[in-house]
Amino acid sequence: MLLHRLNSLVTPHVESNSVLFVPCGSVASSATAMIYLFRQVNHIPSAKFVALEDLASHELDVHSIVLLDDFAGTGHSVIRLWRDHIAPLQRQNPERKFIFGCMVAHDTAVAALHAETGFVVEVAEVIPSSERAFGETSSIFQSMSEREDAKLVIKKYSSHVPPRGIYGYSDTQSLVSFFFNTPDNTFPLFWMSSEKWKPLLPHGADPMLFASEIVAGRGPTLPTSASTIAVQQLHDLDEPEIDADSAVLLLQEFSTTNVLHRFQPIIASLKLRTQPLGALLRATHKLRHAVHEQHSVRTAIFIVPDSQPTLQQRFYLKPTIPTFLTDDPLLRQMCELVNGLRGAIVASPAGEVLGALTYNDAPASPGLPERLANAAAESKNLGALAFVFVGNGRITVLAGGERIVTHRQSTWYLPPPRLFDTIRKAEQTHGIDDGILRRVYDLSLEMSDSGEGAIFVVGDVPAVTAICDTRPSAITLNAMTFDASNLAAIRALALQDGALIVDARGHVLRGMNMLRPPASAVADVPPGTGARHSSAAKTTAVTDSVAVVVSSDGAISFFGGGKRFLVDMT
């Protein structure tokens, strides 16, 4: 509705044959999501959308330029954009009209934009000052005592947020969220994750960017590259195109255009319709924490292409009456009968439940724990989109044998791009033999999948051992190589307190080492992480080693040079 309203506000200002649209969000994925839907619901050609830095090449034949954003909290970043990029263009051609179109904005932001820029400002939904949580005219907390009590709650639970940022950028005090993004003007308590805090709206701005900008006393900025990324993502989303309703469903569930981009070709090739897609996504909510006879329901749902007549011969269970993904009681009953690690419920692109089959045995798949190998191989064999529920809120989505996205700790996670290339580059950078870090990753994957934690420090052994304390023990560790024959022993040792020290050739030399990097060590420690990550990051800051931290919540983090250069959530 807001997208249609925004279009109706913007349209009177533009000449349809001479207009360009430009993303203006400080978070590129947020801008892309809004623009993608704006373009689809209003039937605007994708060629009309360009990056900010490409405007100059269109200046001769464009009468109107519309900059689009989802939310304006203070208007500061848009004012800077006007001064740095738009005002010079308008001076070159005073007849050209610049329109700033926004879905939602505070009234103070609208006033600031009118006063400080030459934009024609159109906002679909204006938030009045009375909806600032702690303002004197607040309609949320109407008395001073209520406001002070609420502030104490915010401060108490915002220990992971920089002190100047607990009310959002520039003290905006917003309570705003979209299904595809939570603006960083909103209280970070609602969207910023930490080791001890799971937010209500866990998607939003990059916590590292938020923290660094707030500590530096700045508000959010808009690099022109964000506009380029948004436009590139927009054009990537055009082929193959899926209907707007399906796109909305995916954005509502996964909250990022990166996941939408990965799902698009799968949905298009399967010809998966909007209604069964919606039913499948709703099923994920009902099944992720489902319990049957005091045990988590571990099942799997495969969507397979039409026209696979031989598939019927493999079913060991079939519905006795026509059953669809929308039939909650019948679907739940079948899910309770199927172990998703050994077999799956199979449905058609139209959403009809066809039956249940068991998997064939298959070798391990790269980037997946061993227990998912058979499901991954079957998804590749059948050309299926597979949702595998492994209990306790965990879901792995597969297609073509590869992991598409993982649900863990109330959040969806994409696998890191070029995972194994990044690991191989780290080996080359730190003089570690080819394949050693990959073996460490494979073991970390199995430990993470089992909810186990560990620290591995690989390379530069003399410098690493110089800053370690080994726990006193009457037991001697015989050196062993990091290979398949020793994985059980290495895993048992890694489970103990302290780090496992591995040399660059892959020899496991010491276990139960307490890392003691010097106090002067400077490292980028991810916000919300604990002592393991801090000591690992600082160890790599003062040595030429790579540290791999496995968290019991599923994260596998690689550190080198004092920075986390790779993180994978299994």
Average pLDDT for 76-85: 88
The whole-number pLDDT of residue 343 equals 97
Looking at the fold, whether 382 and 447 belong to one and the same domain comes out as no
Q: At what angle do helices 224-236 and 28-41 cross, to 10 degrees?
A: 50
pLDDT tens-place string over residues 203-242? 655 555 566 555 555 555 555 555 665 666 666 666 667 8
Looking at the fold, whether 428 and 401 belong to one and the same domain comes out as no
pLDDT tens-place string over residues 554-563? 899 999 999 9
DSSP string, 83-107: IIIIHHHHHH-TT-EEEEEEEEEEH
Does residue 26 carry a pLDDT above 60? no
**pLDDT top residue among 353 and 206:** 353
Low-confidence winner among 171-175, 211-215, 360-364 (lowest mean pLDDT)? 211-215
- Which of 361, 385, 413 is the last residue before a domain boundary? 413
Does residue 58 carry a pLDDT above 70? no
Looking at the fold, whether 234 and 248 belong to one and the same domain comes out as no
Looking at the fold, whether 294 and 187 belong to one and the same domain comes out as no
Low-confidence winner among 100-104, 225-229, 463-467, 485-489 (lowest mean pLDDT)? 225-229
Looking at the fold, whether 180 and 256 belong to one and the same domain comes out as no
Looking at the fold, whether 276 and 231 belong to one and the same domain comes out as no
CATH code for position 555 = 3.40.1700.10
pLDDT tens-place string over residues 419-428? 999 999 999 9
The whole-number pLDDT of residue 138 equals 87
Does residue 28 carry a pLDDT above 50? no
Average pLDDT for 357-376: 94
Instruction: Output b/e per residue, 365-390; b: 16+ Cβ within 10 A.
Output: bebbbeebbbbbbbbbebbbbbbbbb
Coil vs helix vs strand at 353: strand
Give whichever of 101-110, 239-248, 427-436 has the largest mean pLDDT. Answer: 427-436
Judge whether 539 and 517 are in contact, CB under 8 Å: yes
Looking at the fold, whether 251 and 229 belong to one and the same domain comes out as no
The whole-number pLDDT of residue 27 equals 46
Looking at the fold, whether 385 and 504 belong to one and the same domain comes out as no
Looking at the fold, whether 442 and 554 belong to one and the same domain comes out as yes
Judge whether 344 and 357 are in contact, CB under 8 Å: yes
The whole-number pLDDT of residue 252 equals 83
pLDDT tens-place string over residues 336-350? 999 999 999 999 999
Looking at the fold, whether 375 and 273 belong to one and the same domain comes out as yes
Number of domains in the chain: 3
Arithmetic mean of pLDDT over the chain: 86
Q: How many CB atoms lie within 10 A of CB 289?
A: 13
Looking at the fold, whether 212 and 189 belong to one and the same domain comes out as yes
Domain of residue 4 covers 1-238
In sequence order, which residues have a C-beta less than 8 Å from that of residue 225 and are 6 or more positions away? none
pLDDT tens-place string over residues 368-407? 999 999 999 999 999 999 999 998 899 999 999 999 999 9
Q: How far apart are alpha carbons 421 and 418 in whole angstroms?
A: 5
Does residue 309 carry a pLDDT above 80? no
Coil vs helix vs strand at 211: helix
Q: What angle do CA 25, 31, 37 make, to 5 degrees?
A: 150
Proportion of the chain above pLDDT 70, given as a percent:
88
Judge whether 299 and 280 are in contact, CB under 8 Å: no
Q: How many CA atoms lie within 13 A of 543 on its CB side?
A: 29
Looking at the fold, whether 223 and 317 belong to one and the same domain comes out as no
- Which of 413, 441, 471 is the last residue before a domain boundary? 413
The whole-number pLDDT of residue 510 equals 87
Q: How far apart are alpha carbons 402 and 395 in whole angstroms?
A: 14
Max Cα-Cα span within the chain: 84
- Which of 191, 215, 238 is the last residue before a domain boundary? 238
